[in-house]
Structure 1
Amino acid sequence: MSVGGVEVERVFIGAGCNRIVHNVSWGACDLVAFGAQNAVAIFCPKTAQILTTLPGHKASVNCTQWLPSNKFAFKAKQLERHFLLSGDADGAIILWELSLSDKKWRYVLQVPQQHKKGVTCITGIMVSQSDAIFSSTSSDGTVNVWEVVLPSVFGGDCKLSCLASLFVGSKPMVALSLAELPGSTGHIVLAMGGLDNKIHLYCGERTGKFVHACELKGHADWIRSLDFSLPICTNGETNSLLLVSSSQDRGIRMWKMALRSLANSKKKEEISLASYIEGPVLVAGSSSYQISLESLLIGHEDWVYSVEWQPPSSSSVEGIACYQRQSILSASMDKTMMIWQPEKNTGIWMNVVTVGELSHCALGFYGGHWSPKGDSILAHGYGGSFHLWRNVGVDYDSWQPQKVPSGHFAAVTDIAWARSGEYMLSVSHDQTTRIFAPWLNEPCLKNGETWHEIARSQVHGHDINCVTIIQGKGNHRFVSGAEEKVARVFEAPLSFLKTLNHATSQIPSFPEDQVVVQILGANMSALGLSQKPIYVQAAYETPDRNGNEGLDTLETIPDAIPVVLTEPPIEEQLAWHTLWPESHKLYGHGNELFSLCCNHEGKLVASSCKAQSASVAEIWLWQVGSWKAIGRLQSHGLTVTQMEFSHDDNFLLAVSRDRQFSVCSIKQTGMDEISYQLLTRQEAHKRIIWTCSWNPFGHEFATGSRDKTVKIWTIEKESSVKQLLTLPQFNSSVMALSWVGLDRQSNDGLLAVGMENGLIELWNLSVRRTEDGSITMPGATAALAIRLDPFMCHVSSVHRLAWRNSEKSQDSRSMQLASCGADHCVRLFEVQVV
């Protein structure tokens, strides 16, 4: 193939949410923004797909805020462009612009005068179509208030001015809310709460100068969330505001701010309960507002991390901007979200809806958010997961769980494709192994295929470093290695095989084996280290929990119920009911495992562990099936970082921290016996070699190193290794390589290169051979095919690249490339060779 064009499209992104409180924001444009490590990820709740990730932050993203937010959705119907603020753990705040018509994103600016420590909360309000005010708080004890004039055209300049920088002392604020005061005063009120258990109200004008107006006491622990309502309309006038606050004291308080003149006239008529619990008076210019505690809501059993007013419906009263619905949503660490509304007759606020309480896996919610229309609610949980409920009832409320995107919430360390490419499997430092597959019968996207997580086959007690899928015949199996000395072998249960058939709408993968698979699913053990099988016949018997079986008291974990899924699963099903049983443990290594690979015939698995000496750095060879250790290769002095078998299984290539690569020849001598011999070991790079990959059509291979170079080598006459080519130096350390063949006749291929800065490049490689197999001069040629757009790539280290090994792609011009990285993301690209 001559150096032609290559086109790359994004197919899928899987990512979990950073586990922090103000991380998620649902905008008026009906998209959700959240932080996934250093990236800002955007997902569409309608399709349950992550649309893009925005690169720009150097540290973990802590909080996001849309302008306009869902509260101002009624004002945003004609808006062509929406804006997003994101703050990170270094104190930086970035403003982004989204053009709705062409779905294009733009990095607008970084807010100057950044915080000295991490940003913990950003809040913003639209004061007109093109004017917004936002405020940010940080653990450095400061709160900044900014005015931003948004550009009138896409790509225009934003005017940013600092209205105030408030120092709040040694006890930082962690929750903020802004509002315009009712009555035409032009004043802005800023509420803040945090570690001193009080709510502080500051008052200011659009010209700046915010002054401390008063403080509200009542909460007995840190204040975690604050939200102002829009002006409340009584008797045709808007003259009061409501502020709702939630705290670690498990309580929610509602405060009313009423224009003073109105409050005084009322007092003469009646003595209400409010007059006994009146708070301070807030003075703003010539107006003053009486503050009183309106209601105290008790119902949660743990810290209440967020409260939010239901977004208003569009204007219903003439001359008034909108009608604020009397409904709030709270989310708590007790694993529930509640909707509170006042009772019609008494006006007492009651809990009318509770969701989430049945799941034993969510480990608490960090925040809850309304959709702009108020018909859906979204929580994000401790496990980096999303939980979405939609009100599908017509005459009465009926909140039903909906599909959401999912993914890892820590660095993803390795990925592997199923042997026919039906799914990809990823492992992560979040201690889970997840399976992502296309769900074919969904009527939403092109080719009718959308990707979802369909199983969480391993949930472990250690960070998982590496994985390999057994390539040979028989049931689906994989081996994973974690921060322990044992490799573990897992086998697909019957429930997964049936789910996979639903997802791919194919005839069963192994019709003859389905009868043989007697294991329906798996249960988690008490310490989360091994997964025990649930047998088909046992699934229909009810276990006698009260019998005299002498059950360990720790074993009170609810039993898993393996299910055959007929549509993409939600978090509650994934986290518990899709485990694979563990069939073997492989003991032998002296340290935690670091890399694994399987040969193409599916008969050998090689494993390596972290090592500081030659004896520990041995590569162990295991026989698939009997799982006996049948070989120990000594070829390196430090950790072997990656291994790969050549495509004819005659050679095993290994690269190491000792800057060398080694090639071993491997021959099958008997049924259960192999002979292996170290052919060569060579110092190849100046720094650690992280990665290697074989040419699918021959005995050429590539190595990539921290020294920012990629070198191409060939094995000559089965004994010596010669260097063919060094690619031009890259801008960053090379962390991952994957070589795919394009044309067997001309020995052309594409080499995918993943770097430490998150970027991915594809290179055309061509190796020329003569009839007798010897390499001609110049031997090999390489040319850059495409640099992927940074908006498509990872935002930190790429850990692994893998081409999808489907039968179709052997000589076709359309292939798929999977990647994973330190930014918690699993990504899939469609690559078209033009």
Structure 2
Amino acid sequence: MGKNVVSRERVEVEVGFIGVACNRIVNAASWGPCDLVAFGAHHTVAIFSPQKASILATLPGHKDHVNCVEWLPRHRLNVKDDSVADEEFLLSGSADGVIMLWGHRTSTDKWRNALHLSTAHEKSVTCISGMTLSGLDALFVSTSSDGTVRIWKLRLPAQAGGSCSVALLQSINVGVRVMVAVTLAFLPRNSEYIILAMGGLDNQIHLYVGTALGQFVPACELKGHQDWIRSLDFSRPIIESASECLLLASSSQDRNIRLWKITPKEVLILDNHPTQFPSLKMFIEGPVFRMGKETWQVSFESLLVGHEDWVYSVRWQPPVDDDFETTDKDKSLCVLSSSMDRTMMIWRPQPKSGIWMNEVSVGELSHSALGFYGGTWGPRGDSILAHGFSGSFHLWKNTGKGKADWQPQLAPSGHFGPVVDVAWAKNGEFLLSGSHDQTTRVFACWDWSKQDVAIKERSWHEIARPQVHGHDINCIAIVQRHGNHQYASGAEEKVARIFEAPTAFLDTLLCTTGGNRKGPEEIDRKEMQILGANMSALGLSQKPIYAQDYGNSATENLNSSLDTFEAFPSALPSVLAEPPLEEHLAQNTLWPESHKLYGHGNELYSMCSNYSGSLLATACKAQSASVAEIWLWDTSSWRGVGCLQSHTLTITQMEFSHNDHFLLSVSRDRHFSVFQRGIPGEVEGPAPYSLLVNAEAHKRIIWTCSWSHCDKYFATGSRDKSVKIWALVEAENKVAVKHVSTFPLFRSSVTALAWSPQAGSKDYVLAVGLETGLIELWNGTSGDMTPNGGYTMGKLDFSCLMQFDVNLCHVGSVNRLIWKILGSKSDCEDSTHTPNASSTLVQLASCGADHAVRIFNVKLQL
């Protein structure tokens, strides 16, 4: 799990990009002391670097959604322990009650699964909080919807890579009012006793005290919140009036934050019993609890009011290092809160009065930022990170010297729903993806070499979000015609929508490659007047924003030219010199919708464009032959030019041959169909297609199909776990289809296929995606072929060339695979990937039900 590179004798695979969003749940992200952020992404734990703004790895192992992650320790203290091994540890809990421990070797940047607790809880794990007792011992607490709170003792290895052990110390039954927040700390003035605070659905904070070896016993309950408690966090010990105390921050769905102070208390001892008779003074000062021979008192410190919606998280600022700007550690005593009102606030006590005030407030104004599920500090205390309702990250950094100046920073992004389709741009400049999260996204490789930034290498980032739809998107297709970038999308509606790139996107695309446009053709923009698009408030259409209406003053002229009742919020498209932030992506990078294609009777399910760009084929969900028809559209006028009937159930995938002579379709009816292009007649427009063959190919649903780069072969993959290869042969001046080869059965359904666009003269490479998320490369070698009128047939002997490492693959069904030949430096190839006479450098893009988009750099030596 290190550099994400896997090599075999004739092939080398490296992960070039991972795009995925954070799970939309509280406690799903944590920023560790090694300056890496861990977050739950579907069934995996994803790791990203805030400095590179890119996801480095995903850790598979969970079988359900990852709900919470926690670093051990959460923040590195100033105490150095030489016995600590060169390994960081991370805890994660999932919705199926499993807790896993991950080890990260910092020197080699490798990850391992150190521990797997398959029966940690009977139901979903909701929160994990841990603390280190020494260099080799740790304690962590987990809460669950099964009504228990469990305390675990963890033994860490003395050497990196060693074995770990865990023991269950105690299980606390809390009943039907489950706990969803928990935190641990040492009691002030005593490093032997530990205090545990937990809160949840009963609106109360429950304090327990104990030791690392013994049982925790109830201490007291703190009342005050009027709704569910969502987050708890203890501060580090602080000195106040020559006495050490501890602060507890709690946040609730009542929109308030409460601070509680825990201080040692001297009590009178009479006959070995403390004087704790109920009194008005004790009611005012707060409850008192005792552990051993010492007594502590909990008092209400402050009420922080400022958020307008549920406050999902509170976090104390980590201890500031000595080499940071200030040496006064008390100045870093502040708390960070995040709320569903789309803001994060930093609260700090005033030096003179001690009153807690909101010092910093940051947030997002985008209509898609529907609140923050959690917030966390960076290890140095100068950065804050929030994850939102759409799974997006929002990062700010204090760039001011001597005063607070919080500026937004670039963070990775991705889909928060299953990704159903991906497509390369016609010149390979970007990758377009569509998802059930109702968005399409454009990912491109950004060249940082000419910019004064810390990131010097090329890296992939999301540069546009062309479509923010009201329906789950089922399919997309890049239109390959001459001119501007266009794509079609089909969703859970009967309409296909056509989108065209605005000038703001085209200029931004130039910035990704340093101003050097690739491809054989230039886009003529003399007649292009559309700068961007805006989403209407009461509809789904994205209306164009014209350059002449935009004017010199962006905000004033745009707002005056648009109907503010129909367009909210007002989009401000602009040329970007660096990858956009989430707020800009959500509303300022839309593409205008140019056409709607009506005709289908059900929701669209599959589509494709031919390679000349003259035709678009679409199909919808169907349960009868009359509905399971393929509509062909002329892309020059966007008028229907014909319907093709062959299947009786939903067509799952279609693909044109590279020479556009054939159209291949596969269906749930277990048949494939090949349509052949006819000879154009006197009628203007593209030539219609006619059915060449319809054959039953598999025993179960056929999910996927793909043409080889020479158009002599095509492959079909099915739920029956098989892949079959078919060849086009010509006999008696007619083209026929014959079965050539069948792969050995796979362990799961075959859901995606893609032939490599370039291989040897007799070599073929086929990428196979499985329902389990795994990807395999198969190599087919053809024997002697006899030319026969333009089409040839030869036997293909296939063998497995490579199985991608499970750590590089998806953990959900692979929905689409698509290749691209690397042709220039802007394609983000590694410097070690230098093509030679016997090697081919290609990129394989994949998407899956695990919400992820992945790009693999593949070096073939055939």
User: Is TM > 0.5 for Structure 1 vs Structure 2?
Assistant: yes
Letter in 1 for 2:584: Q
Relative to structure 1, is the Cα distance of residues 19 and 585 closer, same or farther in structure 2, using a 3 angstrom cutoff?
Answer: same
Q: Supply the distance in 2 between the matched residues of 1:34 and 1:81 (Cα, whole angstroms).
A: 19
- The partner residue of 2:217 within 211, 215, 219 is 211
Q: Supply the distance in 1 between the matched residues of 2:855 and 2:281 (Cα, whole angstroms).
A: 58
Letter in 1 for 2:806: P
Partner in structure 2 of residue 118 of structure 1: 124
> Residues 448 and 455 of structure 2 are in contact (CA less than 8 Å); yes or no, is this contact kept in structure 1?
no
Partner in structure 2 of residue 270 of structure 1: none
Letter in 2 for 1:142: T
Partner in structure 1 of residue 653 of structure 2: 642
Instruction: State yes or no: 1:404 paired with 2:420.
Output: no
Deviation at 1:706, TM superposition (A): 0.8
Instruction: State yes or no: 1:826 paired with 2:853.
Output: yes
Partner in structure 2 of residue 681 of structure 1: 694
Q: Supply the distance in 1 between the matched residues of 2:131 and 2:52 (Cα, whole angstroms).
A: 28
Encode CA deviations 1:260-319: one digit per residue, 9 max, x unaligned: 12999xxxxxxxx99873211122222110110111111111111100000012479xxx
Partner in structure 2 of residue 731 of structure 1: 747
Partner in structure 2 of residue 267 of structure 1: none
Q: Supply the distance in 1 between the matched residues of 2:456 and 2:792 (Cα, whole angstroms).
A: 43
Relative to structure 1, is the Cα distance of residues 387 and 76 closer, same or farther in structure 2, using a 3 angstrom cutoff?
Answer: farther
Instruction: State yes or no: 1:361 paired with 2:368.
Output: yes
Deviation at 1:728, TM superposition (A): 1.5
Encode CA deviations 1:127-160: one digit per residue, 9 max, x unaligned: 1111111111111111111010111122211121
Worse-superposed segment, 537-546 or 468-477: 537-546
Instruction: State yes or no: 1:526 paired with 2:532.
Output: no
Partner in structure 2 of residue 582 of structure 1: 593
Q: How does 1:442-591 map to 2 (within 5 A)?
A: 442=449, 448-508=457-517, 513-540=524-551, 542=556, 555=566, 557-591=568-602
Instruction: State yes or no: 1:617 paired with 2:617.
Output: no
Q: Supply the distance in 1 between the matched residues of 2:751 and 2:77 (Cα, whole angstroms).
A: 44
Q: Determine helix, strand or coil for the equivalent of 1:537.
A: helix
Q: Supply the distance in 2 between the matched residues of 1:520 and 1:145 (Cα, whole angstroms).
A: 58
Q: Supply the distance in 2 between the matched residues of 1:307 and 1:169 (Cα, whole angstroms).
A: 25
Gaps of 5+ in 2: 1-7, 270-279, 825-834
Partner in structure 1 of residue 787 of structure 2: 772
Partner in structure 2 of residue 381 of structure 1: 388
Aligned residues: 816
Q: Determine helix, strand or coil for the equivalent of 2:15.
A: strand
Partner in structure 2 of residue 798 of structure 1: 814
Encode CA deviations 1:163-186: one digit per residue, 9 max, x unaligned: 110010111111111111122351
Encode CA deviations 1:740-762: one digit per residue, 9 max, x unaligned: 14346x23221111111111111
Q: Determine helix, strand or coil for the equivalent of 1:448.
A: coil
Q: Supply the distance in 2 between the matched residues of 1:76 and 1:675 (Cα, whole angstroms).
A: 75
Partner in structure 2 of residue 604 of structure 1: 615
Partner in structure 2 of residue 436 of structure 1: 443
Deviation at 1:572, TM superposition (A): 0.7
Deviation at 1:767, TM superposition (A): 2.9
Partner in structure 2 of residue 85 of structure 1: 91
Encode CA deviations 1:101-150: one digit per residue, 9 max, x unaligned: 11111112222532121111111111111111111111111111101011
Encode CA deviations 1:470-508: one digit per residue, 9 max, x unaligned: 112100000000010000000000000000001122335
- The partner residue of 1:164 within 160, 170, 188 is 170
> Residues 606 and 618 of structure 2 are in contact (CA less than 8 Å); yes or no, is this contact kept in structure 1?
yes
Partner in structure 2 of residue 751 of structure 1: 766
Worse-superposed segment, 299-308 or 443-452: 443-452
Q: Supply the distance in 1 between the matched residues of 2:76 and 2:284 (Cα, whole angstroms).
A: 29
Q: Determine helix, strand or coil for the equivalent of 2:795.
A: strand
Relative to structure 1, is the Cα distance of residues 21 and 394 closer, same or farther in structure 2, using a 3 angstrom cutoff?
Answer: same
- The partner residue of 2:727 within 693, 696, 714 is 714
Instruction: State yes or no: 1:742 paired with 2:748.
Output: no
Q: Percent identity?
A: 56
Letter in 1 for 2:778: W
Partner in structure 2 of residue 783 of structure 1: 799
Q: Supply the distance in 2 between the matched residues of 1:598 and 1:544 (Cα, whole angstroms).
A: 35
> Residues 267 and 295 of structure 2 are in contact (CA less than 8 Å); yes or no, is this contact kept in structure 1?
no
Q: Supply the distance in 1 between the matched residues of 2:415 and 2:698 (Cα, whole angstroms).
A: 33
Relative to structure 1, is the Cα distance of residues 96 and 5 closer, same or farther in structure 2, using a 3 angstrom cutoff?
Answer: same
Instruction: State yes or no: 1:64 paired with 2:69.
Output: yes
Q: Supply the distance in 2 between the matched residues of 1:201 and 1:407 (Cα, whole angstroms).
A: 39
Deviation at 1:72, TM superposition (A): 4.3
Deviation at 1:770, TM superposition (A): 2.5
> Residues 721 and 746 of structure 2 are in contact (CA less than 8 Å); yes or no, is this contact kept in structure 1?
yes
Q: Supply the distance in 2 between the matched residues of 1:376 and 1:197 (Cα, whole angstroms).
A: 31
Relative to structure 1, is the Cα distance of residues 433 and 112 closer, same or farther in structure 2, using a 3 angstrom cutoff?
Answer: closer
Letter in 1 for 2:797: T
Partner in structure 1 of residue 714 of structure 2: 701
Letter in 2 for 1:580: W
Partner in structure 2 of residue 25 of structure 1: 30
Relative to structure 1, is the Cα distance of residues 73 and 502 closer, same or farther in structure 2, using a 3 angstrom cutoff?
Answer: farther
Letter in 1 for 2:843: Q
Instruction: State yes or no: 1:294 paired with 2:301.
Output: yes
> Residues 729 and 793 of structure 2 are in contact (CA less than 8 Å); yes or no, is this contact kept in structure 1?
no
- The partner residue of 1:651 within 649, 662, 666 is 662
Deviation at 1:662, TM superposition (A): 0.6
Q: Supply the distance in 2 between the matched residues of 1:137 and 1:98 (Cα, whole angstroms).
A: 25
Instruction: State yes or no: 1:133 paired with 2:139.
Output: yes
Partner in structure 2 of residue 11 of structure 1: 16
> Residues 822 and 843 of structure 2 are in contact (CA less than 8 Å); yes or no, is this contact kept in structure 1?
no
Partner in structure 2 of residue 243 of structure 1: 248
Partner in structure 2 of residue 269 of structure 1: none
Q: Supply the distance in 2 between the matched residues of 1:786 and 1:99 (Cα, whole angstroms).
A: 27
Q: Supply the distance in 2 between the matched residues of 1:485 and 1:763 (Cα, whole angstroms).
A: 37
> Residues 4 and 785 of structure 1 are in contact (CA less than 8 Å); yes or no, is this contact kept in structure 2?
no
Partner in structure 2 of residue 102 of structure 1: 108
> Residues 418 and 436 of structure 2 are in contact (CA less than 8 Å); yes or no, is this contact kept in structure 1?
yes
Relative to structure 1, is the Cα distance of residues 356 and 618 closer, same or farther in structure 2, using a 3 angstrom cutoff?
Answer: same
Letter in 2 for 1:687: R
Gaps of 5+ in 1: 265-272
Relative to structure 1, is the Cα distance of residues 112 and 562 closer, same or farther in structure 2, using a 3 angstrom cutoff?
Answer: closer
Deviation at 1:719, TM superposition (A): 2.4
Relative to structure 1, is the Cα distance of residues 209 and 276 closer, same or farther in structure 2, using a 3 angstrom cutoff?
Answer: closer
> Residues 419 and 805 of structure 1 are in contact (CA less than 8 Å); yes or no, is this contact kept in structure 2?
no
Q: Supply the distance in 2 between the matched residues of 1:112 and 1:486 (Cα, whole angstroms).
A: 46
> Residues 752 and 769 of structure 2 are in contact (CA less than 8 Å); yes or no, is this contact kept in structure 1?
yes
Instruction: State yes or no: 1:49 paired with 2:60.
Output: no
Aligned-residue CA RMSD (Å): 2.6
Deviation at 1:806, TM superposition (A): 5.3
Letter in 2 for 1:200: H
Partner in structure 1 of residue 829 of structure 2: none
Q: Determine helix, strand or coil for the equivalent of 1:574.
A: helix
Letter in 1 for 2:47: I
Worse-superposed segment, 69-78 or 777-786: 69-78
Deviation at 1:781, TM superposition (A): 1.4
Q: Determine helix, strand or coil for the equivalent of 1:513.
A: coil
Q: Determine helix, strand or coil for the equivalent of 2:748.
A: coil
